[in-house]
Amino acid sequence: MKTIKITLFIGLFLMSGFAGATALSSYTFESKEEEQAFRELTAKIRCLVCQNQSLADSDAELAGDLRREVYALWKEKKSEEEIAEFLVARYGDFVLYDPPLKPSTYILWFGPFLLLFIGCYVLSRTLKNKTEDKEVELTEEDQQRLKTLLKDDNDNREASK
Amino acid sequence: MIPEIGHFALVLSMCLAIAQAIFPLIGTMNNTPSWAALARPLAWGQALFLTIALGALTYAFLVDDFSVRYVASNSNTLLPTIYKISAVWGAHEGSLLLWAFFLGTWSAAIAIFSKSLTQEVVSRVLAVMGMINTGFLSFMLFTSNPFERLFRIPAEGRDLNPLLQDIGLALHPPTLYLGYVGFSVAFGFAIAALIGGRLDASWARWSRPWTTAAWVWLTLGITIGSWWAYYELGWGGWWFWDPVENASLMPWIAGTALMHSLAVTEKRGAFRSWTLMLAILAFSLCLLGTFLVRSGVLTSVHAFAADPDRGVFILAFLIVVIGGSLALYAWRAPSIFSGGRFDLISRESFLLGNNLLLTVFTFLVLFGTLAPLIYDALEWGKISVGFPWFNKMFLMVTPFLAVLIGFGPLMRWKRTDPIQLVKKLRIAMIVSVIIGLIAFMPSISKGSLLVPLGMLLMAWIIASHITAILDRLKHKKGIGSFFTDLAGKGRSYYGMILAHLGVAMFILGATMVSHHGIEKDLRMSPGESAEISGYRFRFDGVIRTPGPNYTANQGKFTIFLGDKQVAVLEPQKRTYFAQGRPMTEAAIDWGFTRDLYVSLGEDLGGGDWSMRLYYKPFVRWVWLGGLAMALGGIICISDRRYRTKKPKKAHLAQTDAANTLVTENS
């Protein structure tokens, strides 16, 4: 039973998405810049019932309702932060494509710098090693071994033919 | 009957895969040539039976055999023939079969094109590939059998997901999978080298063309996928950092690093263990990518739990493959810093920089893709990590790569004179800075620093590569010797140049379309016009037209530039009979400097429709860049030095021996 429910749920997910993309046609904007700003804002908000689609692109009914609310807030000249706050209070961080910076997301935002730092460290260490390395000098003994190795190798090749 | 033959062939190929995993390997360990020699025939047999299995499933689709569950769920009598064929890999079970089939074909390809390799290497590489296919085939047979029958045979199938009824889907998964599976060859070579303890120049030379081939397929697969998403999903974007997209990008980045690292290992004997690590990483990410997409864990963690058998199998398989190879690596790999010395300003050090940046980038994408799953699993709350995060990380790493790329072709091994280098490149530097400054003009930059940055880097790559070509030809017999050089020894050099220019093309496309693209949501009545960037779109109304398995509302737009008619676009809104959900089919007038893109929204009554119009400048260059990279790779593979049957024996043996000594000494 649980499986059926989940399947249904995923089915709904799929159905709601990709139905078309004309989400903002019913809104009026004072200028091109304003329309662009609103589009950018809604592009960063996640549609809650779709499979990874933004509010700007989704045609799902629920997305339409949410878009109307965001539009109303936006018309009241609320800032982007205030709108984000309102959405997070209602739906959690999941609704924002740009994860907010807070203790639980420190690792997400600062982890990459740590990674970059490790990369730079490995790079500088290797370079230091390599540039200070002496060219390998072959001793008399090594030369002898090289000869035998070469001979072995050629013998092997002959044998494998 | 035919599906049973397919099923039986699948079981047989699994038996052969098990044999291939065991006997050739043991044969090379205890010196039993007859066992080692089994590798080639077993690979042949596996490829043959997997071909039969794939053929049987295709046949079941073509004759609408709905007694097969997989066919009933993914096909329909009305489905056009070409989509019946592509439906074979349209869902979970079939795409696994395609994966296994490709692994069989790559194995057979190794069996054919390995005349210059020793039996020992061939046997070990094929044994590793046999192990991988054992995993895939048993996963298929025990949890996801494509030949499973249905015992109340439905009269009609459920139809293929309409999104997938498209030429893009016919091409995208096979190319992508050829790339994924191709990296198993590089992986096989790496594991064979670890088992044998011989990590010499010949090992790198053998695996280079195979790695490049896998990379070419992966590049094509990602490019086609991006292009498909652009025109089929109706949202006008070409990359969304969706987990499914990231799953294919990660092995590509790691594979790019691997290709560059292999060059150093082949030419200089350096970075050997680093190259091995990258080979393991690239293939592990291919496996992870396949399973991330196929297990459904990305849609929601709950989809994964919905079928626990599959989930547990996948996890176990990943742990065995990745954990096993890493353990082998830890046990056998030489020290990371082996190989000859080189200067700070040398091709080695710049390639090392490229490698580290690419690896960091790989892990960033991996981290961002898995972060929501990790947060959910650890109950830290549900988060989304979307394009804003990825774009920031992308911009943190890739500009440095673009800078390094420009120096690459002019660098020499071991040591490059920095003053000479700057002298050679000064014109390229001046040109790119001028172009960057021009792009600062408000009409070009649109208030974003990224436009001048992108233009500067694009110009830098192009100018420095032209400098490199001229410099190379100067040392030959002048510019006229270009064609003889291309036909002769310089083949792979020019392949590299072309692939790098592909990066410049990509930067151009991505920068322009991101900052100069325009989109408009509109409500229009028939006869009404709207203007975008000088183009006038006249809406001529919507009519109903029938399709083979759908009916469509088809809009008509006539587009003018000034008074001249440029194009007529007919976007559709389709309703498929079997599944009844509406699908948009965008219409595009494409060009090298801009795409005009129309997608139809909803019927608002009285002949009015809602719609979205796009102006997409230079968007084609995003994919042309991908194609140039792939073509560059193909040119590299066609270099004659990979084709000589017997490589210069004395030379190879010498480097081998010298490398062995160096390894022992360090």
Please answer yes or no on whether B389 and A97 come within 8 Å at the CB atom: yes
Hey, what are A73's tokens?
A: 């807030």
Query: How are beta strands B594-605 and B518-524 bridged, if at all?
Result: unpaired
Chain A: give the shortest CA distance to residue B518, in Å: 9
Query: Which helix (H) or strand (E) element contains residue B551?
Result: strand B550-561
What does B223-249 look like in DSSP terms, one character per residue?
A: HHHHHHHHHHSSS--S----HHHHHHH
Nearest-angstrom CA–CA distance, B545 and B2: 38
A114 to chain B: closest CA residue: B360
**What b/e string do you get for A105-131 counting C-beta neighbours within 10 Å, with b at 16 or more?**
beebeebbeebbeebeebbeebbeebe
The domain A2-100 having CATH identifier 1.10.8.640: the answer here is: yes
pLDDT over threshold 80, residue A18: no
Q: Identify the pLDDT of residue A151.
A: 67
Query: How far is CA B138 from each of CA B21, B26, B132, B310, B642, rounded to the nearest angstrom?
Result: 13, 22, 10, 11, 35
Chain A contact probe: residue of B356, B528, B553, B664 with most A CBs at under 10 A: B356
User: Kindly report the CA angle at B573 between B570 and B575, in degrees rounded to 5?
Assistant: 140
Cβ-Cβ contacts under 8 Å, B306 against chain A? 2-3, 6-7
Please answer yes or no on whether B364 and A51 come within 8 Å at the CB atom: no
Q: Who wins on pLDDT, A93 or B453? A: B453
Nearest-angstrom CA–CA distance, B468 and B471: 5
* Range in A60-64, B292-296, B324-328 the model is least confident about: B292-296
Mean per-residue pLDDT of chain A: 74
Please answer yes or no on whether A6 and B233 come within 8 Å at the CB atom: no
Chain B: give the shortest CA distance to residue A66, in Å: 17
pLDDT over threshold 80, residue B431: yes
Chain B contact probe: residue of A52, A129, A132, A151 with most B CBs at under 10 A: A52
Q: Are the CB atoms for B559 and B569 separated by under 8 Å?
A: yes
Q: Identify the pLDDT of residue B298.
A: 66
Chain B: give the shortest CA distance to residue A48, in Å: 11
Strand order in the sheet with B518-524: B518-524, B608-617, B594-605, B587-589
ipTM of the complex: 0.79
A25, A35, A104 ranked by CB distance to B381: nearest: A104
Give B498-510 pLDDT, tens digit per residue.
999 999 999 999 9
For residue A57, name the pLDDT band (cuts at 50, 70, 90): confident
What angle do the packed helices B272-295 and B308-318 form, to 10 degrees?
180
Q: Identify the pLDDT of residue A160.
A: 46
DSSP secondary structure letter of residue A46:
B
Q: Identify the pLDDT of residue B469.
A: 93
B353 to chain A: closest CA residue: A123
Please answer yes or no on whether A131 and B653 come within 8 Å at the CB atom: no
For residue B336, name the pLDDT band (cuts at 50, 70, 90): low
B575 to chain A: closest CA residue: A19
A112 to chain B: closest CA residue: B364
A23, A57, A130 ranked by CB distance to B341: nearest: A130
Query: How far is CA A121 from each of CA A115, A128, B353, B470, rounded to the nearest angstrom?
Result: 10, 10, 11, 36
Maximum C-alpha span of chain B: 84
**What b/e string do you get for B396-430 counting C-beta neighbours within 10 Å, with b at 16 or more?**
bbbbebbeebbbbbbbebbbbeeeeeeebbeebbe
Q: Identify the pLDDT of residue A154.
A: 57
Cβ-Cβ contacts under 8 Å, B610 against chain A? 22, 25-26
Nearest-angstrom CA–CA distance, B557 and B611: 11
Nearest-angstrom CA–CA distance, B489 and B511: 35
Cβ-Cβ contacts under 8 Å, A99 against chain B? 383-385, 389
Please answer yes or no on whether A18 and B299 come within 8 Å at the CB atom: no
* Domain residue extents for chain A: 2-100, 104-160
Chain B: give the shortest CA distance to residue A156, in Å: 10
A15, A20, A122 ranked by CB distance to B600: nearest: A20
Q: Is the dihedral of CA B228, B231, B233, B236 positive or negative?
A: positive
Please answer yes or no on whether B610 and A131 come within 8 Å at the CB atom: no
Q: Name residues whose C-beta falls within 8 Å of residue B159's C-beta, 6 or more positions apart in sequence.
A: B74, B75, B76, B78, B79, B549, B576, B577, B578, B579
Q: Are the CB atoms for B522 and B512 separated by under 8 Å?
A: no
Q: Identify the pLDDT of residue A125.
A: 85
Please answer yes or no on whether B352 and A22 come within 8 Å at the CB atom: no
Beta strands in B410-477 (DSSP E): none
B235, B364, B649 ranked by CB distance to A112: nearest: B364
Please answer yes or no on whether B360 and A115 come within 8 Å at the CB atom: yes
Helix ranges restricted to H, chain A: 2-16, 32-43, 61-75, 80-91, 106-132, 140-160
Chain B: give the shortest CA distance to residue A109, in Å: 8
pLDDT over threshold 90, residue B98: yes
Chain A: give the shortest CA distance to residue B160, in Å: 13
pLDDT over threshold 90, residue B39: yes
Nearest-angstrom CA–CA distance, B362 and B254: 6
Chain B contact probe: residue of A7, A9, A25 with most B CBs at under 10 A: A25
Structure-token match 């290497």, residue found: B121
For residue A23, name the pLDDT band (cuts at 50, 70, 90): low
Q: Identify the pLDDT of residue A33.
A: 80
* Range in A128-142, B272-286, B574-588 the model is least confident about: A128-142
Give B112-143 pLDDT, tens digit per residue.
988 888 899 999 999 999 999 999 999 999 98
Half-sphere exposure of residue B644, counting CA atoms within 13 Å on the CB side? 9
Read off the pTM.
Answer: 0.89
DSSP secondary structure letter of residue B68:
B
Nearest-angstrom CA–CA distance, B414 and A29: 61
Hey, what are B381's tokens?
A: 């709350």
Q: Identify the pLDDT of residue A8.
A: 37
Chain B: give the shortest CA distance to residue A101, in Å: 11
Query: How far is CA B662 from each of CA A63, B193, B349, B568, B615, rounded to the nearest angstrom?
Result: 64, 17, 19, 68, 59
Give B238-250 pLDDT, tens digit per residue.
998 988 889 999 9
Half-sphere exposure of residue B231, counting CA atoms within 13 Å on the CB side? 20
Q: Are the CB atoms for A40 and A97 separated by under 8 Å?
A: no
Query: How far is CA B608 from each of CA A20, A131, B554, B597, rounded to the nearest angstrom?
Result: 16, 71, 13, 19
For residue A92, name the pLDDT band (cuts at 50, 70, 90): confident
Please answer yes or no on whether A20 and B601 come within 8 Å at the CB atom: yes
Let me know if B446 is exposed, middle or buried by CB neighbors in 10 A (0-12, 13-18, 19+): exposed
pLDDT over threshold 80, residue B548: yes
Cβ-Cβ contacts under 8 Å, B308 against chain A? none
Q: Identify the pLDDT of residue B443.
A: 87
Q: Identify the pLDDT of residue B9.
A: 97
What angle do the packed helices B243-268 and B347-377 form, to 10 degrees?
150
A100 to chain B: closest CA residue: B383
Cβ-Cβ contacts under 8 Å, B348 against chain A? 130
Chain A contact probe: residue of B73, B161, B238, B341 with most A CBs at under 10 A: B341
Cβ-Cβ contacts under 8 Å, A119 against chain B? 356-357, 359-360
Q: Are the CB atoms for B505 and B628 separated by under 8 Å?
A: yes
Chain A contact probe: residue of B158, B161, B347, B521 with most A CBs at under 10 A: B521
Q: Identify the pLDDT of residue A152.
A: 61
Query: Which helix (H) or strand (E) element contains residue B629?
Result: helix B620-637
For residue A37, name the pLDDT band (cuts at 50, 70, 90): confident
Q: Which residues pair with B609 in a beta bridge?
A: B524, B603
Please answer yes or no on whether A108 and B371 come within 8 Å at the CB atom: yes
Long-range CB contacts for residues B40-45, cutoff 8 Å, separation at least 24: B40/B111, B40/B122, B40/B126, B42/B16, B42/B126, B42/B130, B43/B104, B43/B107, B43/B108, B43/B110, B43/B111, B43/B126, B43/B129, B43/B130, B44/B108, B44/B111, B45/B13, B45/B16
Please answer yes or no on whether B356 and A119 come within 8 Å at the CB atom: yes
Cβ-Cβ contacts under 8 Å, B393 against chain A? 112
Cβ-Cβ contacts under 8 Å, A131 against chain B? 341-344, 349
Interchain CB contacts (distance < 8 Å): A and B = 180
**Span B324-344, average pLDDT:** 79
Please answer yes or no on whether B367 and A22 come within 8 Å at the CB atom: no
Q: What is the rounded end-to-end Cα distance, in angstroms, of chain B?
A: 62
Nearest-angstrom CA–CA distance, B266 and B269: 6
Hey, what are B573's tokens?
A: 């809104």
Query: Which helix (H) or strand (E) element contains residue B518?
Result: strand B518-524
Nearest-angstrom CA–CA distance, A129 and B336: 11
Cβ-Cβ contacts under 8 Å, A44 against chain B? 386, 388
User: How many angstroms from the chain centroid is the CA of residue B43?
Assistant: 25
For residue B414, name the pLDDT band (cuts at 50, 70, 90): confident
How many beta carbons lie within 10 A of that of residue A147, not counting itself?
11
Hey, what are A132's tokens?
A: 């200070």
